[in-house]
Amino acid sequence: MSDAAQWVFDVTEAGFKRDVVDASFAQPVVVDFWAPWCGPCRQLGPVLEKVVQERKGAVVLARVNVDEAQRLAQYFGVESIPYVLAFRDGQPVDGFRGALPEAEVRAFLDQLGAAAEGEEPAESEDPAAQEAKFRQQIAADKDNYRARVGLAKALLAQNKTDDILAILEPVPVEGDVGAEAAGVRARLELAQLAQGLGPEAALRGRVSADPKNAAAHYELGCVLAAAGKFSDALAELYAAAERDFKLANGKAREAMVKVFYALGTDHVLANEYRSKLAGLLY
């Protein structure tokens, strides 16, 4: 098999888990949902292939013909094509719709590659070292909002939660830094929701023993969310909502909204489950 064939390939419903979900633990996998009759798809496809091949295996492109994989298209909410969805570590992490120009496709893949490589050194440092660094930055400039968000994240990683809300209080709600602060607040609230619910393994045992138990699904969802396992958490919280309308309109919905904020409200998972929840409630 040529290198190009390894980096750009067609995927069927039967092979999707192996070739996309499992493969995304090794490198990002970009999925192109397309169809032969779609004009914009024929415009975008060659651009995607060119830009992916330039990366020589750092990212791969999986092509899904929606006419032949209708269940996959329905599962991922593909309402129009072309629809591009990027997977990393087994989860969809970013995407776009429509035939973007080459420069924007290149920027999309650049951003995906940067995230995969972890180009945020502060995030990889020891949380205690982060805390010290961000405290110094705030001492020098109390209006350094990014340092405040960084400090809040470092404290949350150490389970030192008492001062997080006060640290974030001056951060404006607008813009990227406001969205990051909202995500940290949501993670804090999710950690509080999970307190006293027990270990994940025990809750999985309860769900396995009684799959119809909405409360067990809800509690497992909260514990998974507190651990940052957001894809599994949303699946469990939605399962709770499906089984109990009171939970759907109350605690399960509220927990799912907190996960949306923790992910980033325009994250593909947030969009997917927001749509599912709306369909269930309305």
From the list 31, 38, 51, 81, the catalytic residue is 38
Residue 276's Cβ-side half-sphere holds a number of Cα atoms within 13 Å equal to 25
Tokens standing for residue 211 = 């799959």
222 is known as an active-site residue: no
- Beta-ladder partners of 50: none
Tokens standing for residue 277 = 């929840």
- Beta-ladder partners of 88: 91
DSSP track, 65-122: ETTT-HHHHHHTT--SSSEEEEEETTEEEEEEES---HHHHHHHHHHHHHHHHT--HH
- Beta-ladder partners of 32: 63, 84
230-243 helix and 251-263 helix, angle to the nearest 10 degrees: 160
Give CA–CA dist 236/247, Å, rounded.
12
Q: Is the dihedral of CA 256, 262, 113, 88 positive or negative?
A: negative
195: left (phi over 0), alpha (psi -120 to 50) or beta: beta
**Cβ count near 93 (within 10 Å):** 19
From the list 20, 30, 41, 112, the catalytic residue is 41
Tokens standing for residue 7 = 């980096």
- Beta-ladder partners of 84: 32, 96
Q: Is the dihedral of CA 216, 256, 91, 280 positive or negative?
A: positive
Task: Return the active site residues.
Answer: 38, 41
